Amino acid sequence: MKNIIKRIATVAVAAMSAFVLVAEAGFGSNTHQIEASAAGFETAYFPGGVLQVTQGAYNQFNGYSHGSQNAFDLGGNSNYAAPFTGKIVSIYKDYNVVTLQSTNKVYYADGTLDYMTVSFVHDNNISDLYVGKTIKQGTVFYQPGVKDPTGKTTGTHLHIAVKRGRVNNYFFSGDVYPNDAFWLKKNTTIRQRGGYAWAVEYHPDIYDMRKHTIQEGGIFTIQPNGKQLYLTENGTRNLSNVSLGSSVTNSAKWKAMYDKNKRAWYFVNVASGRVLDINGQSVKSGQNVQIYDKNNCSTEYFIPKPNGYGSYILQTNNKQVAIDCYGSIQTLRSGSNVWTYSINYDNTQQFIFTRVG
Ligand SMILES: [Zn+2]
């Protein structure tokens, strides 16, 4: 990876923190890209300085009480800050649920721009908070706790759930995964990701993001981090296998496309015109990666999550599974297969995109 990551001068660091869906931001273009944020919109930031997921959504990680809930439990912080500037729109005192709604659209970690509403749950004392109170982004306003009239909540933590749009009531379960909502800052301490892919804002001083930014319509090679090997189709027919190859032929070039309705990306091979796809009807760990006709199946959509250093986890429709190269980064060679695997941040599942057309 070091030889392909150009070291360039820092440029406008503060302005380069987010994906941008330019069309939604109203800049008169239909092009989507992952690039510098636009002035006037906040990035939705993870509310703590430490990322420590103690329970995931739907009992995917440390399953206990979230069987039907899209919510994370968080530890590791004694205070939580507002992810964006917003207003408290509801309070439910039984659990001290405080629901904060963004004042303006904000950048989500999945690259979208939209209003966001977040419920914070379990603070023991919210006497300083009231409906209608405005809280500025980054202001500490909520603490972890055990507030729960049933007494089932033990262990001080924050339960957090996110809904897209402007929601006026409290909720325990959201409709957006918190890791698709919140960006980590460059200095966030990562202790436990919970098996999820988290977008980290760019360190633009250490790589040339103009060359490695995923832009809609751009043609890219896709390399596992640290290897001069490329995701390559073997043949152009439906179900042709995708493995690693050593040369940049058209079979190793992929056009990045964005589906606004799915809020996800797909990648069209230049040689075959078919899309990067996962074998099967739905995504699990251990399934083969192939090409297939684009048919709007959930297996062909990805949310690239930047790690802050120029590579991306290709998060699949299954939020805990990503595209992965079979083997260890040391053993990868031309011909190594590409499949799906649980998100573990190994270099075999961190991919560098390089624009070639
Ligand atoms: Zn919880």
| This prediction's pTM | 0.89
Cα distance between residue 162 and residue 43, in whole Å = 15
207 Cα to the center of ligand 1, angstroms: 38
- Residue 173 CA to ligand 1 center (angstroms) comes to 9
Task: Tell me how far the alpha carbon of residue 73 lies from the centroid of ligand 1, in angstroms.
Answer: 5
Per-residue confidence (pLDDT) for residue 74, from 0 to 100: 98
Phi-psi label, residue 150: left if phi above 0, alpha if psi -120 to 50, beta otherwise: alpha
Question: Ligand 1 centre and the CA of 200: distance in Å?
Answer: 24
157: CA distance to ligand 1 center in Å?
8
Query: What CATH number does the domain located at 218-355 have?
Result: 2.80.10.50
DSSP category for residue 137: T
Alpha carbon distance 108, 110 (integer Å):
5
225 and 212 in contact (C-beta within 8 Å)?
A: no
Q: What is the pLDDT of residue 205?
A: 60
The mean pLDDT values, 10 residues at a time, for the chain of 357 residues are 29 32 33 51 95 97 94 98 98 98 95 95 98 98 96 92 98 98 94 97 66 88 95 98 98 96 96 98 97 97 90 96 97 98 97 94
Spacing, Cα 355 to ligand 1 middle (Å): 41
Instruction: Output the CA 159–ligand 1 centroid distance in Å.
Output: 4
Distance 286 CA to ligand 1 centre (A): 29
Considering the domain delimited by 2-192, tell me its CATH architecture: Distorted Sandwich (2.70)
| 150 alpha carbon – ligand 1 mean position (Å) | 13
DSSP class per residue in 57-89: GGGSSS-SS-TT---EEE-S-S-EE-SSSEEEE
- Left, alpha or beta for 242 (phi > 0: left; psi -120 to 50: alpha)? beta
Query: What's the gap in Å between 100 CA and the centre of ligand 1?
Result: 17
Domain boundaries, the chain: 2-192, 218-355
> Could you tell me the two tokens for 325?
């190269």
Distance, in Å, from the CA atom of 331 to the CA atom of 337, rounded to the nearest integer, reads: 11
Collapsing DSSP to helix, strand or coil, 300 comes out as helix
Q: How is residue 177 written in tokens?
A: 């995964």
Cα–ligand 1 centroid distance for 156 (angstroms) = 11
Which helix (H) or strand (E) element contains residue 192? Answer: strand 189-192
Kindly give the distance from the C-alpha atom of residue 284 to the centroid of ligand 1, in angstroms, as a whole number: 25
Q: How far apart are CA 20 and CA 108, in angstroms?
A: 9
CA–CA gap between residue 282 and residue 284 (Å, rounded): 7
Distance 67 CA to ligand 1 centre (A): 10
Distance 61 CA to ligand 1 centre (A): 12
Q: Which residues contact 280 (CB under 8 A, 6 or more apart)?
A: 287, 299
Residue with tokens 């510098």, as numbered in its chain: 36
What pLDDT, on the 0 to 100 scale, is given for residue 309? 81
The pLDDT assigned to 78 comes to 98
Distance between first and last Cα of the chain? 20
- What's the 261 CA to ligand 1 centre distance in angstroms? 29
How many whole angstroms from 69 Cα to the centroid of ligand 1?
8
CA pair distance 123, 104, nearest whole angstrom? 26
